[in-house]
Amino acid sequence: MNVPNHVAIIMDGNGRWAQKRGLKRSMGHKEGSKTLEKLALHAIDMGVKILSVYAFSTDNFKRDKEEVDYLMDLVVKYFNTKFEKINKKGIKVVISGRKTNLRADVIDAINGIEEKTQNNTTGILNICLNYGGQEEIVDGAIKLAEDIKNGLDVSNFKREDFYKYMYHELPPIDLLIRTGGEKRVSNFMLYEMSYAEFYFTTTYFPDFDKSEFNKALFTYENRDRRFGGINDQKHN
């Protein structure tokens, strides 16, 4: 099977999942966190090396304080106590995003989980938190400008070289999944998704289980990736 090396998920539809059941939106985030944990373990079993997920965008701060606080509490709880299986599996957890505007206990939890899992080598779970794709590019450009100021020669600088200036120097995304029915990328990992295959599903994220994930992998397997070139076998 041709398994994507780097899969990214826009975990959408938590709120609607809860509302459909007459529950508070936050209950969708609670259920979504369980789904995320299961998927991270499953993705590794399927041969995926890197899983990136959109947990909270820089724009999500526009939501009600109650919902934002609930999501941050969930993050703290999961990083501090619930990621034991992920650690045992050998998954390294990294967090992408700006540290500004985050609560002190959230920053502590981020540092804790990154430190605890830093030597793990089975795979990587990249959690995007207080994250924006344009922000990541801007932050990278600022770092590059500093290096240039300090004498870096950029006469042969290539697009691949810019990955070094992203939050964690992760490789390009092969497969981007968006749950919840919308068909947009919402400022997620813009630099890394330049040649990603897109998979959209109406399934709400809490219901996006292992078999739904496998469906996305099977779809990917049948895609004809040309990276701007021509696939000789199919186009002669």
Binding residues for ligand FPP, rule: CB under 6 A, are 11-16, 29, 32-33, 36, 55, 60, 74-75, 78, 127, 180, 205
Decide if 60 is catalytic.
yes
Residues comprising the chain, all counted: 236
Shortest Å, Cβ 178 to ligand FPP: 10
Decide if 231 is catalytic.
no
Angle at 216 between CA 213 and CA 219, to 5 degrees: 155
Instruction: State the residue for tokens 């990603």.
Output: 196
What is the per-residue burial (b if ≥16 Cβ within 10 Å, else e) of 207-230? ebeeebbeebbeebeeeeeeeeee
Q: Is 220 within 8 Å of 199 (Cβ atoms)?
A: yes
Catalytic residue among 5, 60, 80, 87: 60
Which residue number, 78 or 213, has a Cβ lying nearer to ligand FPP?
78
Residue 146: CA atoms inside 13 Å, Cβ hemisphere, count? 6
Which residue number, 57 or 165, has a Cβ lying nearer to ligand FPP?
57
Shortest Å, Cβ 86 to ligand FPP: 10
Catalytic residue among 12, 14, 126, 174: 12
Which residue number, 48 or 110, has a Cβ lying nearer to ligand FPP?
110
Residues marked as catalytic: 12, 60
